[in-house]
């Protein structure tokens, strides 16, 4: 940059302009929410996608069970003489169907327990959470995620969600208005938050 000529004799000196203009970043809107440990919190959309991935994986196991149970029921009915007796119909079809449905719910709860508690509590991630780069951590930065915390999350999210009408919707949507940590009800029960991670 060329030096500007000085002022005429008797006039005060003029400050030279800065060679580069100064730019300042001014944040727009409120700062992103963070956990007590300072990590950015996972947003609703990211958590929803992780939940969908996990539900599809667990649903695939349940779907295999239904196929196998349906084939076994069909084979057990094959070759039996048809009858209009309602008692025979009840014992041959309705009772096995009820048992298959009961087995489905038991399998669903068992698989989700293994997946959400035994699998997740070691790293704070299920496969869906890992794919979406989020992790469950205790709200207390000095604590570590325990099996008990993961079990409380499971009981509120899946067991209560299965037996209490509309509870799953309230639980999942709670994050949208919860402040300051964007917790769902199962997060609150377990004293956890869900944060974004790099991997």
pLDDT of residue 184: 96
pLDDT of residue 94: 74
Domain boundary assignment for the chain: 44-196
pLDDT of residue 105: 84
CB atoms within 10 A of CB 112: 21
Question: Mean pLDDT, consecutive 10-residue segments, the chain of 199 residues?
Answer: 58 57 62 89 96 92 81 69 60 76 85 91 93 96 94 94 90 94 96 92
Residue found under tokens 């709860």: 109
pLDDT of residue 154: 95
pLDDT of residue 51: 95
pLDDT of residue 78: 65
pLDDT of residue 161: 87
Element (H, E) at 193: strand 192-196
Please state, in angstroms and as integers, the Cα–Cα distance from residue 175 to each residue in 1, 38, 68, 115, 124, following that order: 55, 18, 38, 22, 18
Element (H, E) at 88: helix 86-89
Quote the DSSP letter at residue 13.
P
pLDDT of residue 128: 95
Residue found under tokens 């974004």: 196
pLDDT of residue 144: 94
3-state secondary structure of 41: strand
pLDDT of residue 15: 55
């Amino acid at each position: 940059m060329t030096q500007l000529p000085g002022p005429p004799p008797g006039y005060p000196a003029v400050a030279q302009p800065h060679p580069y203009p100064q730019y300042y970043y001014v944040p727009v809107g409120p700062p992103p929410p963070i956990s007590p440990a300072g990590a950015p919190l996972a947003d609703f959309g990211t958590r929803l996608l992780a939940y969908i991935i996990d539900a599809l994986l667990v649903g695939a196991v349940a779907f295999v069970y239904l196929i196998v149970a349906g084939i076994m029921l069909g084979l057990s009915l094959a070759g039996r003489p048809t009858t209009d007796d309602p008692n025979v119909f009840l014992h041959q079809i309705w009772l096995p169907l009820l048992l298959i449905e009961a087995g489905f719910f038991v399998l669903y709860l068992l698989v989700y327990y293994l997946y959400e508690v035994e699998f997740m509590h070691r790293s704070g991630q299920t496969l869906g959470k890992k794919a979406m780069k989020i992790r469950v951590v205790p709200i207390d930065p000095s604590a570590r995620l325990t099996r008990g915390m993961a079990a409380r999350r499971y009981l509120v999210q899946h067991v209560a969600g299965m037996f209490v009408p509309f509870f799953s919707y309230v639980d999942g949507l709670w994050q949208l208005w919860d402040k300051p940590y964007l917790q769902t009800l199962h997060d609150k029960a377990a004293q956890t938050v869900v944060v974004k991670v790099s991997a």
